[in-house]
Structure 1
Amino acid sequence: MKYWWMSLILVGLCLSGCTAKRKVEIIEPTFMEEIQTECPVYLSIATAGNFSDAPYGKVFQSCLDDLNASGLFDVSLYENGIMGEDAQLIRAVQNGTISVTMMSPSGQTTVVPGASLLDIPWLFPDSETYQNFLNESGMRFLEPLYAEKGLVLLGISAHDYRYLTSNRPIYSVEDLQGLKIRIQDNICHRILWESLGAEPVPIDFHELYMALYNGTVDAQENPYVVAKSKRLYEVQDYIVETGHLPTVYVYVMNQEQWNQMTAEHQEMLKAEIQRYISEVTEQTPKIVGELRQWLTETKGMTLLTPDEAFQKELLAGRQAVVDYIKTQIGETEVELYLSLADSYLQLTRARTARTE
């Protein structure tokens, strides 16, 4: 019994070891739950555009307010290119410097070449059908193309179709010959108008009005809201309702940051983005109708609607864009996407016929 005290020490160590182990098993999950539910996830959202002052700005702000008020998120919004232009922002999201970005497809093609599929013109007759296609089929097709680049596709919105405005009337493709059209720096847009005989000229958006005013270009293409906000009715006489493309915005997030969030965080973020897209889709027809009326009746612009012959001529531009995209991502991928879009369009027409 000379070393009885050593036995007591060993027993004490064993008990303390068991107690410590038991405490870790009980406390650690509770501590992690506290982190996940009580500490909001910081989200940096950046865009080169200006969502707050857009016609749908109130809806956008409401979604941000809901995210912040939930206690699950602490959101900081950076607009107007403060954090960089589109090509820089998509790279920043990919490497995790920024959490989320919203931009047009052309700004993402350097990272996700398949985003150019969203620049194929004249796929659907209206923005509502286009949006429903994206919600039901298009998103699922595109998600893997983003995932393989370390990005999560949160949503795609398609609204406010783009129309041509010009300082001379356009009734056919013949009238497009040599027409200098201001475009954004987008190769698919350039190919579209070049294939129709026009001369597309990439010009910075902030220089658009002066380029039309001083005759650098004769025409431009944008949704109606731009014709109002940029006062294009002062330098353009005609609106040609080409409706070649909707205004598309793609919402993407860094995949690693997405994976680190709880299911509750993920569900709420996606739900708010879908709420924004849904409300914008619902409001678009009314806003577009009011803008069209204001531009024509109040500001005196002449509205020209392409007839059937002109519409058929314009489809040559779609084929030129499709042929280019095939060289970038492969013929199989493009044909699958077009087949999916065509099937959805036929399904929509069948549904409409049954309800009439």
Structure 2
Amino acid sequence: MKFRTLLAALGGVLLSASLCVAAPITFKLGHIAEPENPYGMGADYFAKLVKERSNGAIEIQVFPSSQLGNQRDLVEGLVFGTVDMTLTGTAVLGNFVPEVSVFDLPFIFRDIPHAYKALDTVGMELCKKGEAQGMITLAIWENGVRHMTNSKRPIRTPEDMKGLKIRVMEQPVYIEMMKVLGASPTPMAMSELYTALQKGVVDGQENPFSHIATKRFDEVQKYISLTGHTYAPEPVLISAIAWNKLNAEQQALLRKAAEDTRDWQRQLCRDSEGAFMKTIIDRGHAVINDDVDKEAFIKATAPVYKMYTDKFGDATIKAIQAIK
């Protein structure tokens, strides 16, 4: 009798212990890139780091290719708590935190190292403005340098842009940039773009090589012109609702993993650009031209800066330009 009583008590202790083992905290991270895109790969790498470093206590499920919606849907989901995490361009984030639109101004960066320094300082400070809307920025990754593509002609000067119907993100800076170049801007979600190009709804679009190659836009675009007109930062955002489920130690772990992934992902982006260009050349659908008059484009797009400075002043632009 005593032995059976002891076994029952022991079983009760084991059962109580098993019930006290906390289930992992699971977050859903959505983005619009294909899995083989460098920031899509960055999302997977980040999820792996978080799981390893938390010993499985935090799991991030990655949903690529617009499975959870387009970029605007994803950012709105953060605000309402229906999406836990996302990667999104500053162009889309700028609709919610207008000040970050400064990073979408044409030719704002001298080169890639300048972009990194500006984003990790000025950029992270500006992104804090999103916290009032329930969006916390963990780090800023990248999506690369953006170039023009179209089905009509090579683009060498701003004159070549005139009359082209170009898909842009739903963002005032990009819309105004196309207007001053003489093109007709057409805001459209990325998930709709391939079909729109294929059917001639729009003549062209602008994106980094990673998107052009992985989304196969070169199949329906004859000309790719290396305009390098903007650079595409990619903030890593978490909903405040999800963030507050973590203790201080877990929050620090998540932020450090995002920063470590940032460095890994940026290098991957730099290393991959030539490979994506080669993929496009090998497929043989599009012609790439690099004889672009950058100075003419810089001059032609200068009026876009006035739109930003009229609204926010020029202090942020000057701070970015002063970074060495």
Pairwise TM-score range, normalised by the shorter structure: 0.7 to 0.9
Q: Which moved more, 1:158-167 or 1:204-213?
A: 204-213
Distance in 1 (alpha carbons) for counterparts of 2:68 and 2:287: 39
Structure with the higher fraction of residues in helix conformation = 1
Q: Where do residues 99-178 of structure 1 align in structure 2 (5 Å cutoff)?
A: 99-140=84-125, 142-167=126-151, 168-178=153-163
Question: Aligned to 2:208, which of 217, 223, 228?
Answer: 223
Counterparts in 2 of 1:317 and 1:192: CA distance versus 1, 3 Å: farther
Q: Contact between 1:224 and 1:291, CA under 8 Å: does it hold in 2?
A: yes
Which has the larger displacement, 317-326 or 174-183? Answer: 317-326
- Counterparts in 2 of 1:246-257, with a 5 A limit? 246-255=231-240, 257=242
What percentage of aligned pairs have identical amino acids?
23
Alpha-carbon separation, structure 2, partners of 1:259 and 1:116: 27
Higher strand share: 2
Amino acid at match of 1:61: D
Equivalent residue for 1:200, pick from 169, 185, 198: 185
Matched residue type, 2:322: S
Task: Using the TM superposition, give the Cα deviation of residue 195 of structure 1 relative to its aligned residue in structure 2, in angstroms.
Answer: 0.7
Cα contact 2:224–2:288 (8 A) shared by 1: yes
Call closer, same or farther: CA 1:48–1:170 in 2, change over 3 Å.
Answer: same
Deviation at 1:112, TM superposition (A): 1.9
Q: Which has the larger radius of gyration?
A: 1
Which sits farther off after the overlay, 105-114 or 244-253?
Answer: 105-114
Which consecutive unaligned segments of at least 5 residues does structure 1 have? 1-34, 348-356
Cα deviation for residue 192 of structure 1 reads 0.5
**CA distance in structure 2 between the partners assigned to 1:151 and 1:249 by the alignment:** 14
Secondary structure at the counterpart of residue 60 of structure 2: strand
- 1:337 pairs, out of 299, 316, 320, with 316
Residue identity matched to 1:278:
D
Inter-partner Cα distance in structure 2 for 1:134 and 1:263: 25
Partners in 2 of 1:62 and 1:68 — Cα distance?
A: 10
- Which letter maps to 2:142? A
> CA offset at residue 48 of structure 1?
4.3
For 2:248, the equivalent position in structure 1 comes to 263
Describe the SS at the equivalent of 1:92: helix
Residue 269 of structure 1, CA deviation: 0.4
Distance 1:40 1:115, change over 3 A: farther
Give a deviation string over 1:103-134, Cα, whole Å, max 9, x none: 12233334322232232121124434312321
Determine which structure has greater relative contact order: mean sequence separation of CA pairs < 8 Å that are 6+ residues apart, divided by chain length: 2
User: What value does the CA root-mean-square deviation take over the aligned residues?
Assistant: 2.8
Which residue number in structure 2 is paired with residue 7 of structure 1?
none
Q: TM-score, normalised by structure 1?
A: 0.74
Q: Structure 1 residues 92 and 273 mapped into 2: Cα distance closer, same or farther (>3 Å)? A: same
Aligned residues: 302
AA in 1 matched with 2:318: S
CA drift of 1:341 comes to 1.1
CA deviation vs aligned residue, 1:23-78 (integer Å, no higher than 9, x gap)? xxxxxxxxxxxx9xx74662423324146342454443232123223233133334
The 5-angstrom pairing of residues 1-356 of structure 1 reads 39=22, 42-50=25-33, 52-69=35-52, 70-71=54-55, 72-140=57-125, 142-167=126-151, 168-255=153-240, 257-259=242-244, 261-296=246-281, 299=284, 301-307=286-292, 310-316=293-299, 318-327=301-310, 330-332=311-313, 335-344=314-323, 347=324
* Aligned mates of 1:41, 1:138 — CA distance in 2: 32
Confirm or deny: 8 A CA contact 2:162 2:181 kept in the other structure.
yes
* C-alpha distance in 2 between matches for 1:214 and 1:84: 23
